[in-house]
Chain A
Amino acid sequence: MQISSDLIRGHLELVVLKLIIEKDHYGYELANAVAHRTKQAFSINEATLYAIMQRLEKRGLIQSYLGAKSHGGKRRYYAITSLGQAYYETKLKEWEQLKSIMTQLLEGDHEND
């Protein structure tokens, strides 16, 4: 099943940050990682990814550097900043909260509450 992009859009920043925290990535690698981890259930196109990267970089949450030459050419890698790390942790808490709220609201039988 394809997940509508509206639903996940707000959380993509968090996903991207998480991937970058694990290891420095370059653009296409990120898109690939998303598709791979979700077993192709969700893929992120370059336009969206690019918009997110720009936003994160402008706010100083990630920074980019040119990596060593490999294969065809240099790749621009993205690394997390300390600000980004802090932002990620706040956002992660927010997500946990949202998750538990949604679970409470949508799952289980509350008719007799």
Chain B
Amino acid sequence: MKTIERFVKRMFKQKNPKQDDQEAMQKMIEMLKEKVEDLKETGLTEEEAIQKTIVEFGEIDAFFQPAVRREKRRYKRQKTVRHYRNDLVFSLLASLLIIAIFALINIFYIPFESYGPWFVIPSIGVLFWPLSLLYKWLNKKGDSD
């Protein structure tokens, strides 16, 4: 019979760790024990009866309404394809600006002749930013198509 108690307690803990509803839990234990007793009367051993009870129990989700979790999810901002596109445009403009600054420094302050066009190197690094956003945008577009 301890098995039944453990089964119910674990289930309650899993589904509803915050709310400690002792009364509801006791009632469920009671009900399942009644079933075990009845099954024993039909000729099953205690172990078989407990096994059968647990197997036949079914899904408990009907009892616990995961209302709290669902509420939270609703308030989370959903990014649409448009958001991703805006992100991409922003990153493109910003990286062009950064590259332009590097290029200007390269041209006016550190001459090409002695150091070569070094601004290309940081530019490549910066371009990974719009590249990753392009990837995300295309992914999102693929999802919604």
**B87 contacts chain A at the CB level, 8 A cutoff:** no
Interchain CB contact under 8 A, B28 and A50: yes
Please judge, given known A-B contacts A47-B63, A50-B63, A51-B63, whether A76 and B58 are in contact too, CB under 8 Å. no
Q: Which residue of B lies closest to A70 (CB)?
A: B37
Q: Which residue of B lies closest to A55 (CB)?
A: B63
Interchain CB contact under 8 A, B63 and A73: no
Please judge, given known A-B contacts A26-B34, A76-B34, whether A46 and B56 are in contact too, CB under 8 Å. yes
Taking CB atoms and an 8 Å cut-off, the chain A residues in 40-54 that contact chain B are 45-48, 50-51, 53-54
Q: Which of these, A47, A51, A53, A75, contacts B34 with CB under 8 Å?
A: A75
Which residues of A have CB within 8 Å of B68?
A: none
How many residues of A are counted as interface, with CB atoms below 8 angstroms from the partner's CB atoms?
Answer: 20
- For the A-B complex with A53-B31, A71-B41, A76-B31 known, give 16 more contacts whose Cβ atoms are closer than 8 Å: A26-B34, A27-B30, A27-B35, A45-B56, A46-B57, A46-B58, A47-B58, A47-B59, A47-B63, A50-B28, A51-B62, A54-B24, A54-B63, A72-B37, A73-B37, A76-B27
Q: Which residues does A use to contact B, with CB under 8 Å?
A: 26-29, 31-32, 45-48, 50-51, 53-54, 64, 71-73, 75-76
Q: Which of these, B34, B40, B56, B59, contacts A27 with CB under 8 Å?
A: B34
Interchain CB contact under 8 A, B30 and A76: yes
Q: Which of these, B24, B31, B37, B40, contacts A46 with CB under 8 Å?
A: B31
How many Å from the CB of A25 to the closest CB on chain B?
Answer: 11
How many Å from the CB of A27 to the closest CB on chain B?
Answer: 4
**B121 contacts chain A at the CB level, 8 A cutoff:** no
Which residues of B have CB within 8 Å of A29?
A: 38
Most chain B beta-carbon contacts within 10 A, residue among A32, A51, A71: A51
**B33 contacts chain A at the CB level, 8 A cutoff:** yes
How many Å from the CB of A49 to the closest CB on chain B?
Answer: 8
